[in-house]
Copies of this chain bind each other. A is one copy, B any other.
Amino acid sequence: MALRTISAKSAAALDQELMSTGAFSIDQLMELAGLSVSQALFKLQPLSKGKRVLVACGPGNNGGDGLVAARHLFHYGYQPTIYYPKQSKNELYQRLSTQVRDLKIPFTEDFHQALSSTDHIIDAIFGFSFSGEVREPFPSVIEALRDTKIPILAVDAPSSWNIESGPPSSGPGAGFMPEALISLTAPKPLVKWFKGRHFVGGRFLSPAIADKYGLDVPKYEGLDQVLEVGVEGDGEGKL
Contact = CB atoms under 8 A, between A and B. Distances in A.
Interface string A10-40: 0000000000001111011001100000110
Nearest to A96: B23
A220 interface: yes
A78 B31 CA distance: 22
A212 to B, nearest CB: 11
A188 interface: no
Interface string A77-103: 000000000000000001110110011
A76 interface: yes
Contact of A204 (B25, B71, B206, B222): B71
Interface in A16-70: 22-25, 27-28, 31-32, 38-39, 42
Interface of A: 22-25, 27-28, 31-32, 38-39, 42, 71-72, 75-76, 94-96, 98-99, 102-104, 203-204, 206-209, 220, 222-224
Contact of A102 (B32, B98, B206): B206
B223 A39 contact: yes
Given A102-B206, A220-B75, A223-B76, A25 B25 contact: yes
A202 to B, nearest CB: 10
Contacts of A22: 98-99, 102
Contacts of A23: 94-96, 98-99, 102
